[in-house]
Amino acid sequence: MTREFTLRGLECPHCAARIEADVHKLAGVLSARVNLMTTTLTVTTGEPFEGDLEKALDSIVRRHEPGTAVFEKTKEAGTAGTGTEGGRGFKGEREKTGNGEIARIITGGIFFAMGFGLEKFISPSVFPNGRIFTWLLFGLCAVSMLITGCRVIFQALRNIARGALFDENFLMTIATAAAFAVGEYPEAAAVMLFYRVGEYFQDYAVGKSRRSIAALTAIRPDRACVIRGGVKTDVKAEDVSVGEHIEVKPGERIPLDGIVIEGRSFVDTSALTGESVPREAGPRTEVSAGSVNTLGVLLIETTKAAKDSAVSRILDLVQYASGKKSRAEKFITRFAKVYTPIVTSGAFLLAVIPPLFFGGEWNEWIRRSIIFLVVSCPCALVISVPLGFFGGIGAASRRGILIKGGNYLELLAKTTTAVFDKTGTLTRGVFNVSAVHPAHPESLGADELLAAAAHAEQFSNHPISSSLQAAHSCEGCGQLSVKDHREIPGKGVSVTVDGVPVLAGTLDLLREKGVDVESGTELCMSPAECAKKDGGTIVHISENGRYTGHIVISDEIKADAKNAISALKRAGVKKTVLLTGDTDRVGRDTAAALGIDECYTELLPSDKVEKVEALLESQTGAGGKRRGALIFVGDGINDAPVLARSDVGVAMGGLGSDAAIEAADAVIMSDEPSRLAQAIVIARKTMGIVKENIVFSLGVKAIMLGLGAAGLASMWLAVFADVGVTFLAVLNSLRLLSKKA
């Protein structure tokens, strides 16, 4: 059983990791995951769970982060919102908390500045008694430290009482107390002041990330104008049933997925797909929730409930993507668990061993250990790395590219092989009649041949049948008698039109039915010549047992497909491959036109899986180590098996397609293949920033730890190594959240 809880007020990444670890230890809990970006705790338990789970969770959460409240989402519906708060429900509360923190920092900063100025610019001789100077300096710095650090000290004492040592509160409290003990009063106040400045900036960065999610939720309308019994009623979107009629006025967002039954307009889907050009909508056009109606009034029949709409699924993906951690994020979590106890022990040994065994001055070695502690705080890594991945996911989502987690973003950055399905991915999937070749033009012209094929195919749902219907329109066709319709899978159809047996399909079908195909095809352009000249799929026709000709059906290549392949190669993808069920000629012509390296044709879905497995095997070197990653790009419905087998499955045109959203690891909401190259570029930029943060943070800290132990670093350098590095690393991560990213 899986239950979700909102952790209102959770800001600390260290606390989130510790909460997750402690919930894992509860008897009966199978798994637990804290998503800091959505303040959501997801817990899976056995059946049944003994005891009050919410009460147990509340105890754990308050132990690590006092002031954080736990609400189960089903109980807090309409109160705590979607978990992106402080998004909607607690915005005012967060603003008050933020303003209070700023006031404490400013007030503490004023007292610190007074103490710092007193020590640096005023001589103790000004005072009649040197003790007055010392006590005044101590008082100003102590007040500054207490104003900015009271919460840190309180939390450290609570943790010590519970036996939970070795966190950042403990590090800062010990460092500050030791600095006061050796008479470094301004330095002691500075440690706590700048630590709180860093914590505030960290909270701001997390809040900015959350606000980017909360802003996205605005594309999901809460209300709908439903027509019941001829009366228009404004209701909640979730109260509208499938099959009801809703009215959407110009400028309004469409609240639910549906089909237009009346009215014409243009629909802006940019919030969902990133496409800037509005789509035309008229009767029988499918429209998606979250799109904006720009012109006329639309009457829409709903086809999905609010919770099942494409926009709801999209928002769920974006909100919870940060919960699927990459290897880098998992490394940082494990690193922080062992790093803090090690550096704390190192600081203690640094403070006591030289004075005890080598005659060192206690004040000097305690000062060095304080610097060592301040430098060692792992905040820069713990917040900037997850924030980097979330920024990458957010940057991709703004372009209509949904990536389901940091793990998939990491794999996308390693892409060396891109494998494509053809129809609907690189081609439009809209078939058109490109050539008609009658075998007996003197008795049966091109129009008559096309009419025969259209009549035969009129009851089929196949895209080729639709193209024949679209190409041929004749008045009175509905009066023709069409009987004995039978569809032969993979081959074609057999019908009787006004008493005349008609076959439409492959040459094999006609041969099976005894049609003299060989002599018939000699009377018109041969199928081989036709395929070479026109390309496309060939539909052969016979009437009353006589071969009458063939029709060429072609699929149009998408406008940006060629640029997409070129962009992938510029992005560093070494090999591109086309897998298709089409004929060899059609597949190879498409591959050649687009510049694709390899092409495999006439494949069933199981054949595609085998080809992908062979390609994966070719990327495996000695010792089973993989070189790069393989992505497969398909429609997300017919290609579900191969989407699952690839390193990263990417579904094209996922808008409104439940199967695409469910099956793939990433979804490109528009029909533009060029977005794939953008996704890879964003993934590589994200990984670059994450690696920069790791190398920069660890590098600076390693140097400063060495300098601090050797007595060559001041407390001010230690503060930079903590707060300054955190500030720069978080700023680096926030580049991904900028609109230019």
The amino acid sitting at 41 is L
In this prediction, residue 597 carries a pLDDT of 94
Pair 174, 373: CB distance under 8 Å:
yes
Pair 558, 428: CB distance under 8 Å:
yes
Report pLDDT digits (tens) over 159-196. Answer: 777 766 666 777 778 878 878 887 888 888 888 888 78
Q: Which residue did the predictor score with more confidence, 657 or 158?
A: 158
The fold adopted by the segment(s) 428-556 is: Calcium-transporting ATPase, cytoplasmic domain N (3.40.1110)
Measured CA to CA, the distance from residue 80 to residue 78 in angstroms comes to: 6
Query: What class is the 221-308 domain?
Result: mainly beta
Identical fold, 401-426+558-669 and 428-556: no
* Of 138-142, 394-398, 718-722, 724-728, highest mean pLDDT: 138-142
Q: Answer whether residue 467 shows pLDDT above 90.
A: no
Least confident of 4-13, 474-483, 614-623: 474-483
- Domain locations in the chain as residue ranges: 2-83, 135-146+165-214+323-388+689-737, 221-308, 401-426+558-669, 428-556
Report pLDDT digits (tens) over 493-538. Answer: 888 888 889 999 888 888 888 888 887 777 776 666 665 555 667 8
Which numeric CATH code is attached to 401-426+558-669?
3.40.50.1000
Percent of the chain past pLDDT 90, that is, above it, reads 18
Which residues are annotated as catalytic? 421
Q: Which residue did the predictor score with more confidence, 729 or 218?
A: 729
Which one, of 289, 566, 274, lies nearest residue 396 by Cα? 274
Least confident of 47-51, 103-107, 286-290: 47-51
Pair 249, 119: CB distance under 8 Å:
no
Measured CA to CA, the distance from residue 64 to residue 16 in angstroms comes to: 8
In this prediction, residue 96 carries a pLDDT of 46
Pair 345, 276: CB distance under 8 Å:
no
3-state secondary structure of 460: coil
Please compute the mean of the pLDDT values over residues 573-593 and round it to a whole number.
87
Q: How far apart are the first and last CA of the chain?
A: 39
In this prediction, residue 419 carries a pLDDT of 95
Read off φ and ψ for residue 628, nearest 5 degrees: 80, -175
Measured CA to CA, the distance from residue 412 to residue 673 in angstroms comes to: 15
Looking at every residue in the chain, the average pLDDT score rounds to 80
Please compute the mean of the pLDDT values over residues 332-355 and round it to a whole number.
80
The CATH classification of domain 2-83, taken from the options 3.30.70.100, 3.40.50.300, 3.40.50.1110, 3.40.50.1820: 3.30.70.100
